[in-house]
Amino acid sequence: MCEFRYAWKRALPILLTYFFLAAGFGIMLQQAGLGAGWAAFASIFIYSGAFQYVVVSFLTAGTSLVTVALTALIMDSRQFFYGFSFLEDFRKGGWKYPYLVWSLTDETYALLTSLVIPAELNRPTVEFWVQLLSQLSWVLGSVFGAAMGAAIPFDFEGIDFLMTALFVTIVIDQWKRSANHFPALLGFGSSIVFLLLVGAANFMLPTLVFTTVILTVSSRREAKEAIDDPS
């Protein structure tokens, strides 16, 4: 259980943020006429913060399944690229591998890339607990929000900024820990460029593709140089 305790302590900021942010989703769902059961179902099987908020409007508007599917693909396609840097770790997780791949989110990705896990702990197990605890917090928060939404008037405008604030905090912590700032600068610079080129609604996917390609080429070049010059 050492891995559990370590993961719990490191993931606590995510757990608190997810709970309150998911509560906002649960309240929205309740106001749309759907209850705690639907909140739990969406948080267990969809588990996508931004898209779950969008789903509420889709459900009330009777949007077609094709539109829902395409929107989900566009909004969550960035997470496809996140997994590349963790494939080797996740494969070592055995039966946990499918869940580790599926449940990776923006915030857990940022946390896992910054963790310096002690050698005596099993890394895939720590990663599993970080992601499972994060999802459990999201599920509980959404159910809580749905259950309380009908009874307590609540203005949830602006609550989604909690996710942004958490992500910024993790990035700053990772910047302080890492001596190599090239990935962060590349991501920031390319996001600005693509934001100007294609607009706020479309810049995320090309930014991720571009940075992934550059970082992959860069890492392979560094590995080749290390082999050629072992000294």
How confident is the model over 167-191, as pLDDT tens digits? 677 677 767 767 778 878 888 888 8
pLDDT of residue 119: 84
For the chain, where are the alpha helices, taking DSSP H only? 2-31, 36-45, 49-61, 65-76, 78-82, 87-91, 97-102, 106-114, 123-149, 161-177, 182-198, 204-228
pLDDT of residue 127: 92
Domain co-membership, 88 together with 195: no
pLDDT of residue 137: 95
Q: In terms of pTM, does the model score above 0.75? A: no
Look at residues 157, 177, 197 and tell me which one is the last residue of a structural domain: 177
Domain co-membership, 228 together with 128: no
Q: What are phi and psi of 157, to 5 degrees?
A: -65, 125
Total number of domains in the chain:
2
Domain co-membership, 8 together with 111: yes
The 10s digit of each residue's pLDDT in 57-98 is: 677 666 667 666 666 666 666 666 666 677 778 888 889 888
- SS3 for 189? helix
Q: Domain of residue 208: give its range.
A: 179-231
Domain co-membership, 157 together with 188: no
pLDDT of residue 222: 67
Domain co-membership, 63 together with 132: yes
| Regions of the chain where pLDDT drops below 50 | none
